[in-house]
Structure 1
Amino acid sequence: MKTNTLKEKTVHGNAMFPLKIYSIIDSESTYSLSYHWHDEVEIIYVEEGEIIFNIDMKPIKVNANECLFINSHKLHSAYAINSIESIHHAIVFDMNILSSSIYDYCQSKYIDPLLNSTLSFPMLIDKTCLCGNNILTEIRGLIDIYYGKHQGWELSVKASLLKIISFIADQDKFIKNTSINLTSNDYKVERIKIILDYIYKNYKNKIYIDELAKEANMNSQYFCRFFKSLTGKSPISYINHYRIEKAAKLLQTQNYKVMEICFIVGFDNFSYFIKKFKEYKNCTPSEYKKMGPSQNYKVK
């Protein structure tokens, strides 16, 4: 079952160096990232504040000076915690960046297993142990190297990634994926992927609960309980939030009138749109438009 709408289409870096770092400064506690997945591995480092990340529907709070690994193909989202400003960095890279033309022990024991998912990175790193401290130090150094762009910085970045892998291997912290059978949670995640894919494709139109339940192969009553148990939101609340995020982006990047945006993103009642926008963004759409991107959150 395809869920291509959820797959991120962004190219991170380029063909010669498939790695990019995104540094997000959220001074208004409005940061929100919709559910998606990608082929690349992602390392999150929170410099200041706290952020909630959902990985395969499991919420994880990442505090200042902590890091999180998001493995390839993992469905994930993120959002700010109320009234807590934050700065975090997302290092997104294709594992092939570390592949060698020579098939050696490094390739066979670590890189290939990470590429074919028989090995996975641990999600949250314990910063109280020596291994965790070493990894955090290396990640901070990697970020500095990336933005410094000194001669040979690409070599230094690759060396840092390999060192991070070596620290994890040294403490035997890699997750070994030996079972080919879907667990109960895996099955639920696959169901949710199908439902979110449908929402992302059809959010501009009227979406009925019966339609979503049919996509999930469930009756409507059970579907609503199932959806809320995994996402923390009712289907309607989730759709409204997604539409508001789409509206916020249009307000920042396009020259549409507020009422036009209301209907573009799928609302059919202007007053309800204003109410929901204020609920999620703590201001009216017009106020949000005047703020400009720098007043909400910035991405380097």
Structure 2
Amino acid sequence: MQMKNFLIDENLKELTKHQTVVLPIACYKTTINQHIHGHIPLHWHDEIQFVYIVKGEAIFQVNEEWIAVKQGDGLFINSECLHMAKDKEQSDCVYICLNVSPYFILSPELFTRYVKPYIQATNLPYLYIDAQKNWGKNILEAILKIYQYIEQTPPYYEMDITMQLTYIWKNLIDNGFKLEYVQTEIVKSQRMKQMLSWIHEHYAEKIKLEDIARAGQLSRSECCRYFKRYLKCSPVNYVIDYRIQKSISLLQQENYTITDVAYQVGFNSTSYFIKEFRSSMGMTPLAYKKNFSY
């Protein structure tokens, strides 16, 4: 299975149902540059995620940190952490993505002791999975097995998957990572999500910096610091980028003109929309529209 696109709601939460017919998991291959946006946009979900790079190299953002993951290695991304991914230097990166509900990893009797402390830790937004380390190699091999089970559905594959998940989690927590719980980090993450959520709800309207700051209960200057820390850009630039992202799906609809799209996504002039779209996508909206097959 190849995942080329997924939907996120106004809170940046991914809407894709991460489950097979009977299990609360999903495991599929993703080619980053084949995604509708050319990258995997910023989002989050309740499920934990394991990534195994099978070709090329990717750069992931998890909360405010950026991580380069090379071919053969992987990444663990914790529950509810903001994350995105982009191809590194046009490497045509392909990775296997395993999403699984934290509640499915172990039985309820073991969840509180062996899972909950890890998904609540504030110093574990991600963990690099190094194939050169024994625990990392074990996890990556198990991810590949789960992908093959789901693709081939051999007899009793559901039980084989559950055994591999337990094996993955045991190797993850057995590497000696020390857990921390800092309330201020939880608050910062919540405020960032609140500001992004507000932008996603109001992107088609006139947006002021003080509106975004108010959504995160911050001053204007502190709001700017949050965006610089988490996203390496200003709030205004993020709004522009998000409007460009929203315009892409509209441009793929034959009945919308360039001017229609510009105003629907919040730009106050067609010329400004064309300028920003070209800067972001490397072509004009009209060229993109002509290249898209209805």
TM bin, normalised by shorter chain, reads 0.7 to 0.9
8 A contact 1:244–1:277 mirrored in 2:
yes
8 A contact 2:60–2:85 mirrored in 1:
yes
The correspondence for 1:12, drawn from 7, 11, 18, is 18
Q: Does 1:148 align with 2:152?
A: yes
TM normalised by structure 1 equals 0.81
How far the C-alpha of 1:255 sits from its partner, in A, is 4.7
8 A contact 2:32–2:39 mirrored in 1:
no
Q: Do the aligned partners of residues 99 and 226 (structure 1) sit closer, same or farther apart at CA in structure 2, a change above 3 Å counting? A: closer
Q: Does 1:283 align with 2:289?
A: no
5 Å-filtered alignment, 1:87-102, equals 87-100=94-107
Q: Distance in 2 between matches of 1:265 and 1:232?
A: 23
8 A contact 1:68–1:124 mirrored in 2:
yes
Q: Does 1:56 align with 2:57?
A: no
Aligned partner of residue 5 in structure 1, secondary structure: coil
Q: Which residue of 1 aligns with 2:90?
A: 83
How far the C-alpha of 1:269 sits from its partner, in A, is 1.4
Q: Which residue of 2 aligns with 1:32?
A: 39
**RMSD of aligned alpha carbons:** 3.0
Q: Distance in 2 between matches of 1:191 and 1:268?
A: 28
Aligned partner of residue 21 in structure 1, secondary structure: strand
How many residue pairs get aligned? The number is: 284
Q: Which residue of 2 aligns with 1:125?
A: 129
Q: Do the aligned partners of residues 214 and 112 (structure 1) sit closer, same or farther apart at CA in structure 2, a change above 3 Å counting? A: closer
8 A contact 1:57–1:189 mirrored in 2:
no
Aligned partner of residue 183 in structure 2, secondary structure: coil
What is the percent sequence identity of the aligned residues?
29
Q: Which residue of 1 aligns with 2:241?
A: 241
5 Å-filtered alignment, 1:197-216, equals 197-216=197-216
The correspondence for 2:179, drawn from 154, 176, 181, is 176
Q: Which runs of 5+ in 1 are unaligned?
A: 294-300
Query: Whose RCO is larger (CA < 8 A, sep 6+)?
Result: 1
8 A contact 1:47–1:88 mirrored in 2:
yes
How far the C-alpha of 1:140 sits from its partner, in A, is 1.9
Q: Do the aligned partners of residues 248 and 112 (structure 1) sit closer, same or farther apart at CA in structure 2, a change above 3 Å counting? A: same
Aligned partner of residue 90 in structure 1, secondary structure: strand
The correspondence for 2:139, drawn from 135, 139, 143, is 135
How far the C-alpha of 1:113 sits from its partner, in A, is 4.4
Q: Do the aligned partners of residues 13 and 167 (structure 1) sit closer, same or farther apart at CA in structure 2, a change above 3 Å counting? A: same
AA aligned to 1:224 is C
Q: Distance in 1 between matches of 2:24 and 2:70?
A: 28
Q: Do the aligned partners of residues 149 and 31 (structure 1) sit closer, same or farther apart at CA in structure 2, a change above 3 Å counting? A: farther
Aligned partner of residue 10 in structure 1, secondary structure: coil
8 A contact 1:51–1:78 mirrored in 2:
yes
AA aligned to 1:66 is D
Deviates more, 1:22-31 or 1:50-59: 22-31
Q: Distance in 2 between matches of 1:139 and 1:57?
A: 26
Q: Which residue of 2 aligns with 1:158?
A: 162
Q: Do the aligned partners of residues 111 and 213 (structure 1) sit closer, same or farther apart at CA in structure 2, a change above 3 Å counting? A: closer
Q: Distance in 2 between matches of 1:241 and 1:149?
A: 41
Aligned partner of residue 14 in structure 2, secondary structure: coil
8 A contact 1:21–1:90 mirrored in 2:
yes
Q: Do the aligned partners of residues 249 and 89 (structure 1) sit closer, same or farther apart at CA in structure 2, a change above 3 Å counting? A: farther
